[in-house]
């Protein structure tokens, strides 16, 4: 499913984010470009440290104080988020853009009841407290919290992890945002809970038709939930396409290897799990060429010398690799 140009809810172009640290300037994101179509679910996958979290922090503009946006645009519903004032940005948060986080245990305020937190976030609505509570109960019902009306006064610690994540989802979708950003929402949950949450998200997405930007390092979940997949490595988007293209025809050497190494996909019993040899490069001193060059088994001279351009592989499938430029099979 390719994204028609006018039908995207989020368009990121040429985004470069740098962190000022004691060790120097760390390039956390390098010329990142991706699209989220209206009503679509886009997954971002990559190892820890690949920049997934930095990317979504940049979108919602809650980056750390030492982060610097060197270049790029983040177009949301026609406006560049990077040029908005803090006030304007704040108005979007929780209203047009919502977020759910990785750790349900700590993402909710421990001293306020969930009812209080859910009415707090409705602060923009010009409705009475009773109406806000009613909406909160309705939403909690929708995400499957039993006996929601009675539990409005309960505090987060009274709920299990899976329930807390449902509450977080309820909070995020209550304002019917155009874009929901999910930062590894199932990483802290066990496998059965994970499945439930994914199904819940899918059902809610069908109902509300919101777009979802779903960050995860769990490939199986991404494969099941997402329409499009973006593969990141060390701050660069190395490949993106629809889920079928990525999972069955990954062309970038890293994406290919990543999928190969997923234990869920190993068909044969084996003594050793496959890994990608080497380490991610030092982001304070990135290599002049392709970021993956020194771990790539298909790297040539050109790979180490110049950064690869984004190659269009057709039908919305793109990858950053010199080897694909030659027209040879990956």
Partner 1 sequence: MFLYIVKRVGLGAVIIVIAIVLLYGMIHLIPGDPASIILGPRATPELRAALAAKMGLDKPFPVQIATFLVDVARGDLGTDVFSNRPVAEIVFSQLPHTLALIIAAITWAMAIGIPLGCYSALHRNTMIDKITGVISVGCITLPSFLVALYALLVFAVWLKWFPAIGAGRTGDLASQARHLVLPAFAIGLGWVGYIARLVRASMLEVLAENHVRTARAFGLPERVVIFRYVLRLAILPTVTVIGIGIGFLLSAAVFIEVVFARPGIGKLIIDSITTRNYPVVMGAVLASTVLFVVSTTLSDIVNAILDPRIRSSLR
Question: Residues interacting with partner 1, by CB under 8 A?
Answer: 60, 62, 90-95, 98-99, 101, 103, 106-112, 120-121, 123, 155, 157-158, 168, 171
DSSP string, 237-300: EEEEEEHHHHHHH--SHHHHHHHHH-GGG--S--SS-----S----TTS--SS-TTGGG-TT--
Contact 104, 124 (CB under 8 A): no
By beta-carbon proximity to partner 1, the closer residue of 12 and 97 is: 97
Q: Which residue has the tokens 């030492």?
A: 66
- CB 273, min distance to partner 1, A: 32
Class of residue 290 by CB neighbours under 10 A (exposed 0-12, middle 13-18, buried 19+): buried
Give me the sheet containing 236-242, strands edge to edge: 97-100, 179-183, 211-215, 41-45, 228-233, 236-242, 318-320, 310-312
- CB 63, min distance to partner 1, A: 11
By beta-carbon proximity to partner 1, the closer residue of 123 and 192 is: 123
Give me the sheet containing 67-76, strands edge to edge: 24-37, 8-21, 67-76, 79-80
- CB 84, min distance to partner 1, A: 12
By beta-carbon proximity to partner 1, the closer residue of 80 and 120 is: 120
- CB 194, min distance to partner 1, A: 19
- CB 124, min distance to partner 1, A: 8
By beta-carbon proximity to partner 1, the closer residue of 111 and 273 is: 111
Give me the helix-helix angle, 161-173 and 129-142, nearest 10°.
120
By beta-carbon proximity to partner 1, the closer residue of 66 and 209 is: 66
Name, in order, each residue with C-beta under 8 angstroms of 67's C-beta and a sequence gap of 6 or more: 17, 18, 19, 20, 28, 54, 57, 58
Other beta carbons within 10 angstroms of residue 326's beta carbon come to 11
By beta-carbon proximity to partner 1, the closer residue of 101 and 292 is: 101
- CB 263, min distance to partner 1, A: 29
Contact 57, 17 (CB under 8 A): no
Name, in order, each residue with C-beta under 8 angstroms of 279's C-beta and a sequence gap of 6 or more: 295
Q: How far apart are CA 297 and CA 293, in angstroms?
A: 8
Contact 217, 184 (CB under 8 A): yes
Token pair of 143 as six digits: 């995400």
By beta-carbon proximity to partner 1, the closer residue of 104 and 289 is: 104
- CB 328, min distance to partner 1, A: 45
Report which DSSP code applies to 93.
Answer: B
By beta-carbon proximity to partner 1, the closer residue of 119 and 245 is: 119
- CB 66, min distance to partner 1, A: 11
């Amino acid at each position: 499913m390719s994204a028609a140009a006018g039908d995207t809810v989020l368009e990121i172009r040429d985004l470069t984010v740098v962190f000022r640290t004691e060790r120097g300037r760390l390039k956390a994101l390098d010329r990142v470009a991706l699209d989220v179509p209206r009503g679509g679910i886009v997954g971002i996958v990559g190892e820890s440290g690949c920049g997934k979290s930095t990317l979504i922090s940049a979108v919602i503009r809650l980056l750390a104080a030492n982060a610097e946006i060197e270049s790029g645009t983040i177009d949301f519903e026609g406006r560049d988020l990077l040029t908005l004032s803090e006030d304007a940005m704040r108005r979007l948060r929780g209203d047009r853009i919502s977020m759910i986080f990785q750790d349900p245990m700590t993402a909710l305020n421990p001293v306020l009841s969930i009812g209080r937190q859910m009415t707090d976030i409705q602060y923009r609505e010009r409705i009475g407290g009773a109406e806000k509570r009613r909406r909160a109960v309705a939403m909690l019902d929708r995400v499957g919290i039993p006996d929601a009306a009675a539990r409005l006064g309960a505090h987060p610690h009274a709920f299990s992890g899976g329930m807390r994540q449902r509450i977080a989802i309820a909070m995020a979708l209550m304002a019917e945002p155009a874009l929901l950003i999910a930062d590894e929402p199932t990483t802290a949950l066990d496998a059965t809970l994970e499945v439930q949450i994914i199904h819940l998200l899918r059902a809610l997405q069908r109902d509300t038709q919101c777009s979802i930007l779903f960050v995860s390092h769990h490939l199986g979940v991404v494969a099941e939930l997402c329409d499009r997949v973006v593969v990141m490595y060390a701050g660069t988007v190395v490949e993106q396409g629809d889920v079928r293209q990525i999972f069955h025809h990954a062309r970038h050497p890293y994406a290919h290897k990543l999928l190969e190494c997923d234990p869920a996909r190993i068909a044969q019993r084996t003594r050793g799990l496959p890994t990608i040899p080497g380490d991610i490069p030092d982001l304070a001193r990135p290599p002049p060429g392709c970021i993956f060059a020194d771990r790539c088994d298909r790297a040539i001279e050109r790979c180490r010398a110049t950064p690869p351009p984004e190659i269009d592989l057709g039908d919305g499938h793109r990858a950053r690799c010199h080897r694909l430029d030659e027209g040879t099979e990956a």
